[in-house]
């Protein structure tokens, strides 16, 4: 579950805060472990290019490796290759792209490019609009 608090829509914050509080109280009373995170989310616009490249490369990897690959498998592979994971109960779990800083995101896109070239994928590079979207995101993130 996810809530977005936009500066441009402060009038909705009260309702959102009440809803978040209700859900938090519900989880606290459930007796189960849970997590809550806060941050400046990348939007689907910023991540669209990353996922598009994963989607393009997946069938090339599958054909070459002789096994099934989908976009999510490529994404996990690249995250692990770039050490974008954490240990949970002795298992390596990949992190959400929401937490990728500029350096990690650049490294993962570079790795996708290397995979695209290795598997001779067609039209797998970021478009100029996708690049610009990421640049804008990371420029505003620094402020």
Q: Name the token pair of 137.
A: 């995101």
User: How far is it, in rounded angstroms, from Cα 108 to Cα 100?
Assistant: 9
Sign of the C-alpha dihedral computed for residues 73, 75, 80 and 84 taken in this order: negative
pLDDT reported for residue 1: 62
Q: Name the token pair of 28.
A: 């606290």
Q: Which of 30-34, 103-107, 137-141 has the highest mean pLDDT?
A: 103-107
pLDDT reported for residue 45: 65
Report pLDDT digits (tens) over 17-59: 888 888 888 878 888 887 776 665 556 666 888 999 999 999 9
Report pLDDT digits (tens) over 56-104: 999 999 999 999 989 999 999 999 999 999 888 888 889 888 788 889 9
């Amino acid at each position: 579950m996810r809530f977005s608090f936009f500066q441009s829509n402060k009038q909705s914050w009260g309702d959102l805060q009440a809803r978040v509080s209700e859900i938090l109280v519900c989880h606290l009373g459930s007796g189960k472990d849970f997590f809550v995170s806060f941050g400046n989310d990348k939007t689907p616009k910023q991540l669209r290019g990353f996922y598009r490249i994963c989607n393009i490369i997946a069938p090339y990897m599958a054909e070459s490796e002789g096994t099934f690959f989908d976009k999510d498998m490529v994404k996990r592979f690249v995250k692990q290759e770039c050490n974008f994971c954490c240990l949970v109960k002795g298992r390596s779990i990949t992190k959400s792209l929401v937490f990728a800083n500029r350096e990690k995101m650049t490294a993962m896109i570079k790795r996708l490019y290397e995979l695209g070239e290795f598997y001779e994928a067609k039209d797998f590079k970021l478009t100029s609009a996708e690049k610009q979207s990421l640049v804008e995101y990371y420029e505003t993130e620094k402020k």
